[in-house]
């Protein structure tokens, strides 16, 4: 993940959020879960900004969209609860985080969107990925 790709993802995510009339917090992390770029749109809530980086980190560390992680946590709350406890505030089980893969299929980071419904958060993250051909 580099800054150019991260900024491109954020630009596309912001456009997608604006087209839906939703103010969001948006973030991109690298393969280690470290923030590369973050944006809080005008009107986005503080809680959206607080959860967006953990959403992206969760997608990186599980290697799949956070919507899938939420479902897995519902099926096995004891195991997934222990992951949350061990991570402190590093992870969050909330929809809107999606991993970013390179051309070889390796995870290079993730994008997170927060501030809409779970479905809106997912749509915005996925729209950003499509816009950059990922």
On whether the CB atoms of residues 56 and 111 are closer than 8 A, the answer is yes
Superfamily of domain 3-131: Haem-degrading domain (3.30.450.150)
* pLDDT, tens only, 42-89: 999 999 999 999 999 999 999 999 999 999 999 998 988 888 888 887
* pLDDT, tens only, 5-28: 999 999 999 999 999 999 999 999
In this prediction the pTM is 0.93
| Backbone φ and ψ of 25, nearest 5° | -100, 140
Domain boundaries, the chain: 3-131
On whether the CB atoms of residues 91 and 83 are closer than 8 A, the answer is yes
């Amino acid at each position: 993940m580099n800054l150019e790709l991260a900024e491109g993802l954020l630009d596309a995510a912001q456009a997608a959020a604006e087209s839906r009339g939703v103010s969001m917090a948006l973030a991109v992390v690298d393969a280690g879960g470290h923030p590369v770029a973050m944006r809080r749109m005008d009107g986005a809530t503080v809680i959206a900004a607080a959860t967006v980086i953990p959403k992206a980190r969760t997608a990186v560390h599980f290697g799949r969209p956070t919507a899938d992680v939420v479902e897995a946590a519902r099926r096995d709350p004891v195991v997934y609860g222990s992951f949350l406890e061990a991570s402190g505030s590093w992870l969050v089980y909330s929809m809107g985080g999606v991993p970013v893969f390179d051309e070889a299929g390796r995870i290079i980071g993730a994008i997170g969107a927060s501030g809409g419904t779970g479905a809106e958060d997912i749509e915005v993250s996925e729209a950003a990925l499509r816009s950059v051909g990922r």
